[in-house]
Each structure stands twice: as structure tokens, then as C-alpha cells.
A and B are shown apart, each in its own frame.
Chain A
């Protein structure tokens, strides 16, 4: 189990890990999947994608998963590791709890109060 002191995942890293939940993908497919999953909010340029992938590879959260030759170029696939899956689940849980704090407060504030104190 990872230490709870792990810094929160940045949004691009979060969505790259989320994109790989469905199985191994190559770079271009990761970019397209991240755009879909984030409703177009996160659109990674290639340089940024590989900075994120390098970091995730270094942290052991993703791993290279084979290559194929397409148009004479090597196309490498990446997959989520067990550790990556755990970190992603932990981060999703943290975000969900943080969102709940606000949604619970908002719903309790907007609910009609039964005992209303009239101003003097």
C-alpha cells in the first residue's frame, strides 16, 4: 500500500492513467482518449504527453507493453501497472470524498428548512 503522503496526481497524469484503464494504448490513442474522458478539457500535446508518460514510467505506474511497426515507424503501447491502478483508485476516491464535502453542504443549504426563525 502506498504512503498517504503521496502528492496528488496532476490532472494530465490522472487522465492518462484513466485512459489506460481500458487496456494498453499507444501515444496518439492516449491523447484522443484523454480528450474524450475529460470532455475536451485536457488536450495533451505530444511533448506534454511524453513528459507525463516518462514520469509515470519512472514512478512505476505505467509500463511499456509491446511495439508494432506502423507506416515504417515503431508504435509503442503502454499499460497500467497494478500500482498505477491502485494510485488511480486512491486518487479517484480522494476526489470523490472532496466532491462529497461540497455536494452534501450544497444540498443541505438548498433543502427547505422546517423551523424557520422569523426576523424580529
Chain B
């Protein structure tokens, strides 16, 4: 009886795998998980659960694909475009709410002209991309990089990060239009999850570092370490995340570059250039190691 309950719970965990893989391997995995020995266990162990989640992430990252490097690169670029647009939308939304909170209600049309048009166009490009309409997304993202600035140069002149989102995403989307036919697009639900994961990394609050008291700094350090560790736990299994995070860090660096214009200042901000350099190196490392593994294939 407990074995039936355990099997049911393992089957729930196996839902982390792509549907095609699950169809092929679910029974076999359950057989291996339950084993030959009678068990009184009712819950999957933490170790087996973590291993299954990482196994599923590896499959999403292209480990079982005929050309894993191609899957890693093409899907990574596509997910990077999605993540940078989502980050732009999120920052834009936050700024819009703030603008209305601090006097924007007296002239809402101006706020909408300055920020709303951009927000809507970037949001539309993101929706098109999530819906798998890459060509429509390409048109919308190019328009989002140009039209709102023509309507109002507010975001551009103030060097706000959301202005950079379509500028960074446009070449990525245009490149991903050339995705080879044998490389499947990232499944939609998985793409949304990956995007949420990259956004979560950017939402880790590091404000405590700027405060004087040690307790706030320790809490901030613990949050940053835990967040980065969680991200790396996922991203070392599904290495598309290592590629997808690069454009979002580029967004921060371009924003800082526009604001400070000083390389020294950029180097002192760990959330800008240093993070970007580390992310680029990790992404290159992921591509090279995948390529090396692929080269040994029969």
C-alpha cells in the first residue's frame, strides 16, 4: 500500500520532465526508484527528489538532444530575449506605479506618453514571444525600441534601464528567427518558468548592503548567497539559464554605463559589469563543455 502511495508521489515528481521523455521513461524510472526491496516509505527522499528535478532540468537543457550545443545556444538566446523583455516590463511597471504615486495623477496622459507607450509595446513583444510568434515579436520589439522614443524621449534621456530592454532583445529575437529546423523551440511553460527564475535572481534584495548596521548587511549577504546558490543549482543542470541571464545583466550594465560613464564606478558595482563578465564566462564555459561532450559522440 505504501509502495502505491510512494509511486504516486514519484509520478508527481516525474512531471518535472518534458512530456516526451516521461512517456518514454516514466515506468522505467519508477521501477528504478521503487527498486526490488519492500519499503514502508511513503514519501520520496529529498536526495531522490533533488536528483529527479536536476535530471529533468538537464533534459530540458538538451542533454538528450541529437545536437545538445545547438539546443543550448538557440534556446538560450530565445530565453535570454524573453527574460530581458520581462525584466524591462517589470522595471517599467514599477516606475509607472511610482510615477502615479508621486504626482503623476495630476497629468496621467504625460506619464502614459513618457512611459506607458513603451510599457505596452515591450509587453506586447513579450506576449508575442511567449506565444511563439517570433516574427511578430521581432517587429514589435524593433518598434518598441524606436516608436516610444519618438513619442517621448523621457526614458532615453533619463537613461532608465527599461529603455534598453527592447534594444538588447531585438538582435536576440532577430537571430532566433534563424533557428535550425532540427532544434525545437523551448516548451512554453518551461520558457515561462525559466524567465521567472531569471527575474527572481534580479529580485533578490541587496539594499541591506547600503545600510550601516551589520545585521542588515549580514541578512543581505545571506539572501544574495542563497539566491545565487539556488540559481546556480538550477543553472548548472539546465545550462540554458547561464545564457539567458547574460542579456539581463547587460541591461544593468548599459544602464549603469549611461548613468555613471565611469569604468571605475562600473567595476565597483557588483550587480553591473563584474556580474556580466562572470555570466559571460560561465555561458562560454557551458557552451564549450557541451561542445566537447558532443564531439565524443558516435
Contact = CB atoms under 8 A, between A and B. Distances in A.
Interface stretch (A14-22, A34-42, A70-78, A103-111): A70-78
Interface residues of B, number: 29
A105 to B, nearest CB: 31
B31 A70 contact: yes
B35 interface: yes
B25 interface: yes
A51 B52 CA distance: 10
Contacts of B63: 51, 54-55, 58
Contacts, number: 78
A45 B45 CA distance: 10
A50 to B, nearest CB: 6
B292 A7 contact: yes
B290 to A, nearest CB: 11
Contacts of A7: 292-293, 296
Contact of A58 (B29, B48, B64): B64
Contact of B32 (A2, A6, A49, A51): A49
Interface string A57-101: 011100000000011011110000001000000000000000000
B202 to A, nearest CB: 28
Contacts of A54: 58-59, 63-64
B273 to A, nearest CB: 32
A46 B48 contact: yes
A112 interface: no
A27 B26 CA distance: 12
Contacts of A49: 32
Nearest to B68: A58
B39 interface: no
B293 A46 contact: no
B31 A48 contact: no
A76 B56 CA distance: 19
A45 B31 contact: no
B27 A74 contact: yes
A47 B31 contact: no
Given A7-B293, A47-B53, A27 B298 contact: no
Given A47-B53, A54-B63, A59 B296 contact: yes
Contact of B298 (A26, A50, A70, A83): A83
Contacts of A45: 47-48, 50-52
B276 to A, nearest CB: 29
Contacts of B32: 26-28, 31, 46, 49-50
A70 B175 CA distance: 48
A59 B297 contact: yes
Interface of A: 2, 6-7, 26-28, 31, 45-51, 54-55, 58-60, 70-71, 73-76, 83
Closest 9 CB pairs of A and B: A60-B298, A47-B55, A45-B51, A47-B51, A27-B32, A47-B52, A73-B27, A74-B27, A28-B32
Interface of B: 25, 27-33, 35-36, 47-48, 50-56, 58-59, 63-64, 68, 292-293, 296-298
